[in-house]
């Protein structure tokens, strides 16, 4: 059995075994945590209209190492662990700040996971996409701030395989499998690009406009 199906079987079994407990816990728990709320669709459209439209730049010279992450946020907690805690439910961390239990709902595909190893922290605007959209000219400190940004909706805990399928694609090439999240995703994407002054290509802008106008 492949790792992909084996872990999903394990997650499904855990969900069935703990169904009663989970139901009780969820009933008394706050709403699912999430990244900072992005601007409204209308505001995102106004932001989008100000972005420079130009062909995507080259990936020449790109390396993830040019975007230092995950950096320490406080004590022994790095950015990944902070997002896992923020986006999860009933997350327990050990003395090293590693998440040892909890659950994570992935809004990209609607799946829930019970092991942090099944969850990736997605850069909503991928690092390579940022590089091709202007980050190639940034300082390392600005790229570090971008790659670890907890203030805007740039980081989100999602199913690892879905994140890997996304890769460095922009919205014209990839949108979350769960269509009801498209509006939120487009708002998140535009907010980040607007804040950091990145460019958009014509197909990317067209897709974002279409999604935001339908919100």
- The pLDDT, as a whole number, for residue 34 is 81
- CA pseudo-torsion sign 8, 11, 16, 20: negative
Question: Using one digit for the tens of pLDDT, what is the confidence trace for 31-82?
Answer: 456 899 999 999 999 999 999 999 999 999 999 999 999 999 999 999 999 9
Predicted model pTM: 0.85
Using 50, 70 and 90 to split pLDDT, how confident is the model at 18? Answer: very low
Report pLDDT digits (tens) over 85-96. 999 999 999 999
- Report pLDDT digits (tens) over 128-144: 999 999 999 999 999 99
Domain boundaries along the sequence of the chain: 34-75+119-213
């Amino acid at each position: 059995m492949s790792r992909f199906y084996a872990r999903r079987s394990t997650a499904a079994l855990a969900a069935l075994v703990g169904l009663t407990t989970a139901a009780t816990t969820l009933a008394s728990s706050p709403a699912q945590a999430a990244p900072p709320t992005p601007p409204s669709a209308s505001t995102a459209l106004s932001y989008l209209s100000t972005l420079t439209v130009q062909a995507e730049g080259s990936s020449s010279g790109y390396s993830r190492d040019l975007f230092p992450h995950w950096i320490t946020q406080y004590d022994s907690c790095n950015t990944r662990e902070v997002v896992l805690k923020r986006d999860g439910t009933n997350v327990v961390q050990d003395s090293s700040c590693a998440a040892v239990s909890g659950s994570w709902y992935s809004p990209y595909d609607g799946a829930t996971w019970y092991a942090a190893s099944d969850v990736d922290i997605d850069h909503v605007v991928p690092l390579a996409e940022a590089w091709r959209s202007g980050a190639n000219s940034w300082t390392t400190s600005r790229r570090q701030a971008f790659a670890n940004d907890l203030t805007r909706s740039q980081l989100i805990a999602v199913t690892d395989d879905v994140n890997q399928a996304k890769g460095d694609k922009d919205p014209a090439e990839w949108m979350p499998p769960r269509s009801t999240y498209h509006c939120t995703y487009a708002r998140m994407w535009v907010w980040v690009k607007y804040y950091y002054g990145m460019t958009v290509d014509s197909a990317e802008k067209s897709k974002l406009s279409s999604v935001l106008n339908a919100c």
